[in-house]
Amino acid sequence: MSNKIKLVLLGIFLSILTILIISISSRNYVYEVDFKSNINNINDINITLSQEDNVIEIIDKSINDNKLKIKLKANKIGKANIDVSSKEEYKMETFYVHRFNIITKNSYYGKSNNDIVIPIFMLIYISFCLYLLIKKYRKSINDNL
C-alpha cells in the first residue's frame, strides 16, 4: 500500500473517531462556577436560564467548597444563556447546541467535552507524516550511496 493511501486512510479514521468521541461525550456538559465568597447552600444562588424553545435543560446542580456544578443536557439546536448570581457575585455564560446535540461554551466553536482529542489526533497524524518522510529520506540516501 502506498504512503498516500496510508495517510488518507489514517486521516479518515482519525476524523471519524474524533466525531464519534465528541458527539457522544458532548450531549451533557458540566458547567463549573467558582465563587470567591463563602457559599455552602444551593438556595443562596440564583440560576437563570434564558433561551429559545427549551434548547438546554438543567439536569442537576450541586455545590462543594464554593464551586457550583450545573449539569446541562442538550435538547435541540440553538443558543442559551445561564446567569448565576449570589449576593456578591454574578457570572454569565453562553452555550450553543449544535447538530448531534453537541454543547459548546462561550462561542459557536467554543469548548466542548473531550475537545482535547482534536489536537491529540492532529499530533498523531503529523507524527505519522514525519515518520513516512524520514523513512523515505533514509531510503533515498541508501539508494544513492
For the sheet containing 103-105, what is the strand order?
46-51, 78-85, 90-97, 103-105
| Domain span holding position 41 | 26-115
Q: For 8-54, what is each residue's pLDDT tens digit?
A: 999 999 999 988 888 887 778 888 888 887 777 788 788 888 888 88
Residue 86: which of 67, 72, 71, 105 has the closest Cα?
67
Q: For 63-76, what is each residue's pLDDT tens digit?
A: 888 888 999 998 88
pLDDT (0 to 100) of residue 12? 94
Q: How far is 86 from 33, CA to CA, in rounded Å?
A: 11
* Residue 20 within a domain: no
**How many domains is the chain built from?**
1
* Residue 141 within a domain: no
The CATH number of the domain holding residue 66 is 2.60.40
* Residue 36 within a domain: yes
pLDDT (0 to 100) of residue 110? 74
Confidence of residue 4 (pLDDT cuts 50, 70, 90): confident
* Residue 122 within a domain: no
- What is the reported pTM? 0.74
Q: What percent of the chain has pLDDT over 90?
A: 28
